[in-house]
Each structure stands twice: as structure tokens, then as C-alpha cells.
A and B are shown apart, each in its own frame.
Chain A
Amino acid sequence: MKLRHKKILTAYLFLLVPLTFFAFIRFYPMISAFYISFTDWNIISPVKHFVGLSNYVNIFKDSVFRISLLNTLKYVLYGVPSVIILSLILALLLNNITKLQGFYRLIYVMPYITPLVATSWVWRWMYQKPPTGIINNFLNFFGLPVRNFLMSTTEALPSIVTTTVWIEVGYCVIIFLAGLQSIPKEYLEAAKVDGANRRQLLFKITLPLLNPVIVFLSVMETIMFLRIFTQVYNMSDQGSGGPLNSTKPLVLYIYQKAFKSFDMGMATAATVVLFLIILGITVVQLKVLNRKIQY
């Protein structure tokens, strides 16, 4: 055996160890989830009756599931573009300053490193009606009409998205900044010498070179918004995803079906649907956003 082959073999052998571990703690539960989604298991009963596709039929018949699915897509549609655009603007601004840059970075990243439950509750209180909620007190002070925020079927979801955007911006700004600072200064200087204006610099040089970062963050943020749970659980009354299911995302639906209603079959069926959605969207995003760009 050649030395090269030996090296490769050793590498595979070493990789096999974590792979085995990964298979047991990751793939085995995943496959059993697929299996449970075809049964009527209620988490206490030792027997699992095979019921075929009926859980899948039932969840699509369930109006709450359809609302949760729609809500999840709303979280992504409202949330991802807001996070990406806002953090890109902030990163471009931060990239232009040298003084106090560390201080600004710290401020933006603070919400992200604070425990999610804590930030959710702080925002929940801020959204309260007078006399407790700071935002409404502010509106009240200027004689403006108070808003219902979390207590409205139309305003609750955007309110939660706003909080989440505020949290996620910190993380995205840092990644964007790293991306911006890896763009060689020579390119921009050369373009300036050739007479490019600021608009051209941004759209012809900076953004194309930032493409891998944009792809990475779009994929990560989409997955994050598809799996949104903690904010909704902590910001809606008793973690119900209300009022009237208007904020309930799929993951919360799954949680309630599994551990509150003990309907593991329907919960795992919904999990499989969510998994397929995440997989589909991620594949499409990687294909569309990651096109080769001609410079």
C-alpha cells in the first residue's frame, strides 16, 4: 500500500468514530421520528399501532396546522429580508468608521448574546399597554393612540418578528463586517482610480464579493426563522401562540401536539413536513444565491 493510501485509510477510520456516534444520536432518532409519524402513539402507551398516512391526512385537515404553516412562512418572509438588509446597512456604516467601532459592535451584538428567554420577556413587557409598557407609555405621553401589539391578531406576529430582527441583527452585522474586511482594499482603490462612483463601488464590487456571506446568512437566518419557537413561547399568553393562533409557528404546534396533547403521531408527522420544507428551501437557496458571478 502506498503511503498516500494509508493516510487516506487512516483518515476514514478516524472519521468513522464520530460518524458512528453521530448516527446513533442524530440519525437514529430522526428515522424513528419518521416511523412514529405512521403510528398513533400517545407517549404513554407501550404499543404503537401502524396507521399509515392518516396522521399526514389529519394534520392537513387541521386548520391550526395550516395556520401554523402559514405563520411560519410569514416569519421567514418578514424576518429574513429585514435582518439581511438592516444588518448589511449597519455593517457598511460600521466599516466606514475607525473610532468607537468596538463600542458600536458591542452594542449591536449585545441582544444576540443575551439569553433569548430574557430578551423575549423584556420585549413582552415593553409591548404592554399602559401603565406598564414603555412603548405605549411613550405614545401615550405624546397623545398618540396606544397599540395592542401582542394582544392583537394582526400586530402580534410583526411584533415578534421585530424583536427577533433586533436580536439577529447583532450576529449578522459581525459576520458582514468580517466579510467586508476581507475584501482587498486594492480592488476598491483601483475602481476609484478608474472613476467609479460610490454606487458603482457598492453594486459592482462590494456586494458581488460579499455574495458568499449573503448566501451563508440568508440560509442560516431562513432556517432560524423556520424553527422559531422560544420568542413565541415566551411572548404569547401561556406559550399558546395566540391570540387566536395568530403567532403560532410549526415548532410550537409540534410541541403542543407532542407534550401537551400527547399525540406523538401527529407531532412527528408535522416534524417531517417541517423537515422537508427546511430541506427544500435550503437547497433552492443554495442553488439560486450561490450562482457563479462573472467579475
Chain B
Amino acid sequence: MKRYLLVFLAVLLIVSVSVFAKVKIVYWQYYFETKVKAIDELIKEFQKLYPDIEVEHVTFPYETFNEKVAASVPAGTGPDVVNLYYGWIPKYVTSGYLQPLPKSEFSDEYFAKNFFSFVPKGVEFMGERYALPIAVRSLALFWNKDLFKEAGLDPEKPPRTLQELVEMAKKLTKYDKQGNIVQAGLATQPSGQGHHWIREVLTRQFGGAPYNDDYTKVTYQNVPAALKFYTDLITVHKVGYPGFMNDDITAFTSQAAAMNIDGSFRIASLKKAGINFGVAELPEYNGIKSNFASFWANGITKNATGEKLDAAIKFIKFLSSDKVMEIWLDRVGELPANPTVAQKYYNDPIYGPFLKGLEYAHATMFVDETAQRQVMMDAVDKVWLKGISPEQAFKESAQTEQAVLDKFWKSVGR
């Protein structure tokens, strides 16, 4: 009897030691079904690789995500690894929430080898880098093949330049007797992806840049031609207008818009809707190409120290590994953040144009995404609703946005 007891105690000791030896880290992300399922699956894989690490996965509704983060920090609870939009990094860093990724583990070479070139810039803030993405997003031109055929255009030949875009859009637009648009040639929705297209694509194509290199000065007002090109689509060529069929997505999905500029995240829903669509790289202008890229990334919070920090580093490295990126494309539909992994899909008719676009894409650094989006929407509204010139509208928007930037940079002591 005594022997059994001794054996039992010995087993208990071994089990408890191995349990206590496990490092537990907490991972937070917002709730999006396919992402949640994919992470659950990946955590299992990760734990097989590192049996001494346990990852707890917690999700919240997107709307309350920042509130939860805010509530957790002063309480000293919350995640060790957090999934966040790259545009939030400045806010999270200045609030003392994130810690910089150690340079010993994440060198310049590491970033150069594993990610598209806009990624290290997108996760950098005041000389330090803070997060790693699994996947990235970019813009492309979606076109409806059936509507092309109906308008007598070749359904396999989307516009390649801005001039062609305008010409084709005109042919694809239909009006009623009173001159109201009943079918838009090109959906124009600044509140959709339109504001990114103007800011990062058209501004560069017309020979300028939206901001200076360190994003402290607004410079797009020097290229009013970018805004003029966009608003001409509405006021001169009359191929669409903001709010047609409520928004660009509804218009394109209900086959009332023949073309739309949208992100890679739309692919799944368009396939589901059974639209006969094609995807093309964004039209170029005078040989200049540009694109807007964005991403969600995983950062390490100040909570993770010692063993937890080591485990967190292993976890985010694992999540950004080649194998995971492929799983992510398959399960979630987002593009691999590593150009080598992406190479495989370059000739895919749907993913290819997005991936090619990533090579010359820029990720705007936002300090207040809502406010910065609003000024771009307002610039368009001022031109088509108020008849203000694109020069004046861009100048006013730049002034408003500069104030937002100044306030932010002043708060971080620059």
C-alpha cells in the first residue's frame, strides 16, 4: 500500500512540475469567424512544436476592441500578444501599450527576407518596429465581364491606363430619360476604397506624394490633378457618383456598376454572390504604377516579460512563417506578407493582380484614421456637391489634416 502511495506521489510530482513549467501566454484579436477558426487551428500546431508553451486565445467584437484594451492595461491584465491594425501602432506605442520587437531577434535582414518592403515601414514608429503581419491587403480593379460583353467591349480586356479607364467607363454607363445614372461605368465611393485610391495611387501617379517621408507634413495639395481626375469622373464624365445604389459594394454586387476599385478582402463575397468578375492591376498613368497596402499585425504588449516574452517572440515568428501564410490565404483569403510565398500565386487570375500591386504599394501611416479619411471624403464632396475647385478643396483638406498631424506629433514630442 505504502509503495503505491509513493508511486502515486512521484507521478503527481512529475505531472505538477511539467504543468508548472509550461509558460502561458494570452492572445487577443477581434472576432471574425474565419480568422478565429484559423488561429485556433494554428495554436494547436504551435503547441505541438513547443509543448512547453500554452496559448490562450481571446476574442472580442471589433467595435469594443479598443475599449477592452483600454480597460485591461491599467488593471495589469490583458494579452501578451495582440492583433492590431497597423494604423493603430502610433497610438498603442505612445500609450505605453506595446514594446518594441528586440532587434536581436528581428533584424533588418529578417524583415527584408520575410516581408514586402512596405511592411517594415508600416510597423515602424520613431525608429523601432512593433509588429509582424501574417497577411496583407492591396487594391485592384474589379470588372464585370457580363456587363463588358453587353456594352460591346472585350470581357477579357480590362482598362490598363487611366485614359482607357475613363473611355471604357463612359461606354459602360447607362442613363434614363431624365439623365439619371441607372448603371455606373465605374463606382466612385470615397468612403469605400476611393480615399485610398486618391491618396496613395492617383496622387503619386500625377507626380507627387501624399505626405513627406516621415509623415509629418501633408503634401497632396501640390497635386490637385489627382483630385480633379477623381471628381471629373463624377462631374464631367458622369460615370458614377458617391452613394449610387447606396455604396460601391452594393452597386457592384447587384451588377449595377461595371467596374470598382476594391480590396482583396472582397473576393470571397463576390464569388459567393456568383458575379462573373475579373481582377486587374490598378490602371497606370504615364507608366507610373502605385497601390495602397494595409495589414493587421501581431505585436507584443508590455505585459510580456521574461519567459513570456520569449514565448511571445516564438509565437509571432511562428504566425508569420511561410507555412502559416499559405494556410492563411487558404482559410481567410488574405494575401501572404512574404513575396517569396506570394510568388506561387502570381499567375493566379484573382490573387495575382493584388500580389503584383503589392510590389509598388505604399502603406499610409495614419495617426487618426477616421479624421484622415474624413478630410479626403470632404474634399470630394466639396467639389461635386459645392462646386469648389479641386485646388481649393485639396488645399482646405490639407490644412485640416495638417492640424491633426501637428497635434499628434506635438503629443509625442516632435
Contacts A43-B66, A46-B96, A131-B176 given; does A240 touch B245 at CB 8 Å: no
Q: Given A43-B67, A46-B96, A244-B382, A150–B180 Cβ distance below 8 Å?
A: no
- Which residues of A31-46 have CB atoms within 8 Å of chain B's CB atoms? 40, 42-46
Give the secondary structure class of B's interface: helix
Give, as a whole number of angstroms, the nearest-CB distance from A4 to chain B.
49
Contact A151 B382 (CB under 8 A): no
- Say whether chain A's binding surface is mostly helix, strand, loop, or mixed: loop
A72 within 8 Å of B by Cβ? no
Stretch at the interface among B23-31, B124-132, B366-374: B366-374
Known: A43-B70, A259-B66, A262-B66. A132 touches B245 (CB 8 A): yes
Q: Name the distance in Å between A195's Cβ and chain B's nearest Cβ.
A: 58
Complex Cα distance, B374 from A152, in Å, reads 17
Any A CB within 8 A of the CB of B377: yes
A-contact bits for B300-311, CB 8 A (1 contact / 0 none): 000000000000
Closest to B251 in A: A132
Partner of B95, one of A42, A125, A245: A42
B153 to chain A: closest CB distance in Å? 22
Question: Of residues 134 to 153 in A, which have CB atoms within 8 Å of B's CB atoms?
Answer: 140, 143, 145-146, 150-153
Q: Is B244 an interface residue (CB 8 A)?
A: yes
Q: Which residue of B is nearest A261, CB measured? A: B368
The docked-state distance in angstroms from the alpha carbon of A242 to that of B382 is 11
Q: Is residue B111 within 8 Å, beta carbon to beta carbon, of the partner chain?
A: no
Task: Decide yes or no whether A2 CB sits under 8 A from chain B.
Answer: no
- Is there an interface contact between A131 and B182, defined as CB atoms closer than 8 Å? yes
CB-defined interface of A13-37 with B at 8 Å, one 1/0 digit per residue? 0000000000000000000000000
CA gap between A262 and B411 in the complex, in Å: 14
Q: Which residue of A lies closest to B380 (CB)?
A: A243
1/0 per residue B349-380: CB within 8 Å of A? 00000000000000000001111001001100
Which residue on chain B has the smallest CB distance to residue A136? B180
Tell me how many residues of B have a C-beta within 8 Å of chain A. 38
Q: Evaluate contact between A244 and B378: CB separation under 8 angstroms.
A: yes
Beyond A43-B67, A128-B245, whether A240 also contacts B374 by CB under 8 A is yes
| B244 neighbours in A (Cβ, 8 Å) | 129
Is B391 at the interface (CB under 8 A from chain A)?
no
Q: Which residue of B lies closest to A47 (CB)?
A: B96
CB neighbours of B73 from chain A (8 A): 44-46
Contact B242 A151 (CB under 8 A): yes
Q: Mark A236-272, 1 if CB is under 8 A from B, else 0.
A: 0110101111000000000010011110000000000
Is the pair A46, B74 in contact by a Cβ cutoff of 8 Å? yes
Shortest Cβ distance from residue A156 to the other chain B in the assembled complex, whole angstroms: 10
Q: B182 — nearest CB in chain A belongs to which residue?
A: A131
The distance in angstroms between the C-alpha atoms of A262 and B70, with both chains bound, is: 10
Please report the C-alpha to C-alpha distance between residue A151 and residue B245 in the assembled complex, in whole angstroms. 12
Cβ-based interface call for B104 (8 A): no
> Considering only CB atoms, which chain A residue lies closest to B183 in the complex?
A131
Q: Are A130 and B182 in contact (CB under 8 A)?
A: yes
Is B230 on the interface with A (CB-CB < 8 A)?
Answer: no
Q: Select which of A40, A140, A256 is within 8 A of B370 by beta carbon.
A: A256
Query: B219 interface residue, CB < 8 Å from A?
Result: no
Which of B63, B247, B385 makes the CB contact (< 8 A) with A243? B385
Please indicate the chain B residues that have their CB under 8 angstroms from the CB of A47 in the complex: 96
Minimum CB distance partner of B92 in chain A:
A44
Whether B70 pairs with A146 at a CB distance below 8 angstroms is no
- Across the interface, A244 reaches (CB within 8 A) one of B176, B178, B386, namely B386
Q: Is B151 interfacial (CB 8 A cutoff)?
A: no
Nearest CB of chain B from residue A127's CB, rounded to whole Å: 10
- A153–B245 contact, CB under 8 A? no
Inter-chain contacts of B91 with A (CB < 8 A): 42, 44, 262
B191 / chain A contacts, CB cutoff of 8 Å: 237-238, 240
In the complex, what's the smallest C-beta–C-beta distance from B289 to chain A, in angstroms?
28
Q: Is B216 an interface residue (CB 8 A)?
A: no
CB of B207 within 8 Å of the partner chain: no
B381 touches A242 (CB 8 A): yes
Known: A44-B73, A124-B246, A151-B385. 20 other contacts (CB 8 A): A43-B66, A44-B66, A44-B70, A44-B91, A44-B95, A45-B95, A46-B95, A46-B96, A128-B243, A130-B176, A131-B180, A131-B182, A145-B178, A146-B178, A151-B241, A151-B242, A237-B191, A240-B374, A243-B381, A244-B386
Q: List 30 A-B contacts (CB under 8 A).
A: A40-B411, A42-B95, A43-B67, A44-B69, A44-B91, A44-B97, A46-B95, A47-B96, A128-B246, A130-B176, A130-B180, A131-B176, A131-B182, A140-B178, A143-B178, A150-B243, A237-B191, A237-B377, A240-B191, A240-B377, A242-B378, A242-B381, A244-B381, A244-B382, A244-B385, A256-B370, A260-B370, A260-B371, A261-B370, A261-B371
